[in-house]
Amino acid sequence: MKFCYAITVALAALAGKAMAQDDPLGTVIGIDLGTTYSCVGVFQNGRVEIIPNDQGNRITPSYVSWDPAGERLIGDAAKNQATVNPEQTVFDVKRLIGRKYGDKTVQADKKLLPFKIISKDDKPFVQVEVKGDLKAFAPEE
């Protein structure tokens, strides 16, 4: 919940500055990509609102999963797949952003995470099987 609070404070500060300068800011969107949870906030018409996801929650688990049919699941649906489909469920991927594959932290995480982490030009990529094909994704994807 701290991260959603931080988005609210940041958007309110930005909006307050713009309003003090009589600068019509319009709509401002803030995205918090957290390691565990993510959320989206919007400043509009003088107020900040954290946008609920399709489940009605204001925070979304930072999980992506592919089911056996190749359908991509995100958030709560993906997190629910973690125990039955661990190799195809990706989480904590923010820890890989901006790192080199050979970094000690990447190598330590690789041993603990159930999904496969591979190297492409010394950058960590997540490898999953989608409809029988191996796909590699950069952490930012």
For 67-94, what is each residue's pLDDT tens digit?
A: 989 999 999 999 999 999 999 999 999 9
Q: Is residue 87 part of a domain?
A: yes
Are residues 126 and 68 part of one domain? yes
For 38-74, what is each residue's pLDDT tens digit?
A: 999 999 888 899 999 988 999 999 999 999 899 999 9
Whole domain around residue 16: which residue ranges?
2-50
Strands 47-50 and 60-61: unpaired
Are residues 99 and 45 part of one domain? no
Per the structure, the count of domains in the chain is: 2
Q: Is residue 13 part of a domain?
A: yes
Q: Is residue 56 part of a domain?
A: no
3-class secondary structure, 56: coil
Q: Which residues contact 74 (CB under 8 A, 6 or more apart)?
A: 60, 63, 64, 65
Provide the CATH number for the domain around residue 70.
3.30.30.30
Are residues 109 and 72 part of one domain? yes
